Chains A and B, each alone.
Chain A
Amino acid sequence: MEPTARDIMSTDLLTVSSDCTLAEVLKLIVGQRVTGVPVVNAEGKMIGVCSDYDIIRQFSKAKKRPTKIFAKKIRYSKKVETVATDTPLPEIVSRFVDKKFRRLPVVDRNGKLVGIITRRDMMKVLFYQAKLGK
């Protein structure tokens, strides 16, 4: 049986809320060695992703008094592609290849974030599929 997003995703999630400060999210991304974190609202619904790119861009736009920037709220990408829990593996692979995603958040029917699939997860899946056969 073909694995789906539900089988592959990691459920141990790091998330932030939209009113987190730049300093908080920066420390989280560096400390946890991730490239971005999903932004969720109070109901756990995914509303965006704050990536290392978003943080660097926000820094690049601060011209005066750079230390003040740490207390500012994060700017994040609100347009985020997600996959449903029942998305089959081949479709997930094509999304990673065609759109060069670093990560694909997995959401349930109500848009609630339930997991995440990273490039690292995909590499493990592909490694073991090649070793053990489909």
Chain B
Amino acid sequence: MKLKLARDKDLNILGISGIVDQKNYAILRAGVSQLFKTGKNKILLDMAEVEDLDPAAFMDLAQLHALAREMLGEVMVCGLSPAIRQKVAVIQPPPAIEIFASLAEALGAINDRRAPPSPAQEALDEIVNLKKRILELESASDANKLRAENASLKEQVERLQGQLVAVMLENREPNSIGDWRERHQLLEDQIADLLAQPEGGEPKKS
């Protein structure tokens, strides 16, 4: 037999699988008792995966249910196979444990019994949601700020790049096409002179 605990608000759902016989019922009882001892006395036993159930175990569960009732709790059962349900129907003593056909049916019924949220709680929930939205919008406006800052930084970078190009052009020698042409011509003349010069001799005088 295996036990698995899940919670749905104040409801503790104890999933049971395998065979629940006289021997291992003690494990299930200990599990339920442990929940009681931590103040959790609203318990749904999901027996959809129980292969067989000892009727004596079910009688003891009824006693645990009575104990739960003392502190306004309850022990309920769901998902019994038809064969087990038939067995239980014969022996179940009062106070009867409530039995649901399935987990979904049990959760639906238990949820319906819960007190509806008060108008104040609904209003508060709405306020909380609105505040969350405001926080979202605020963080979005932070993103907008960052975007604006980013755009301004980009502008600054472009401006500085423009300045850099201007400075480079200004400092370039020569700094006009005419001057470059003159310098080019001068270099070509120098090359021509060098080519005209005999090896080891002075350049020819024209």
Q: Is this pair of chains taken from one and the same complex?
A: yes
Residues of A whose CB lies within 8 Å of any CB of B are 3, 7-8, 10-12, 14, 16-17, 19-20, 24, 27-28, 31-32, 42, 121-122, 124-125, 127-129, 131-132, 134
Report if B7 contacts A (CB, 8 A): yes
Given contacts A24-B124, A125-B38, A127-B70, 6 further A-B contacts (CB under 8 A): A27-B120, A31-B120, A31-B121, A131-B36, A132-B33, A132-B36
In the complex, per-residue mask of B124-155: 1 if CB is within 8 Å of any chain A CB, else 0 = 10011001100100000000000000000000
- Bound-state CA distance A9–B88 (Å) is 34
Given contacts A31-B120, A32-B118, A3 and B38 within 8 Å (CB-CB): yes
Please tell me the size bucket of the interface on B.
20 to 34
The residues of B that contact A19 with a CB separation of less than 8 Å are: 131
Residues of B whose CB lies within 8 Å of any CB of A are 7, 9-10, 33, 36-39, 41, 67, 70-71, 73, 118-121, 123-124, 127-128, 131-132, 135
The residues of A that contact B135 with a CB separation of less than 8 Å are: 42
The residue among B39, B73, B132 with the most chain A CB atoms within 10 A of its own CB is: B39
- Bound-state CA distance A31–B119 (Å) is 8
Q: Is the CB of A128 within 8 A of B37?
A: yes
For the complex formed, measure the closest distance between the CB of B130 and the CB atoms of chain A, giving whole angstroms. 11
Given contacts A8-B38, A20-B127, A128-B36, A14 and B121 within 8 Å (CB-CB): yes
Q: Is the CB of A128 within 8 A of B41?
A: yes
- Bound-state CA distance A19–B16 (Å) is 46
Q: Of A16, A42, A129, which one neighbours B124 at CB under 8 angstroms?
A: A16
For the complex formed, measure the closest distance between the CB of A70 and the CB atoms of chain B, giving whole angstroms. 12
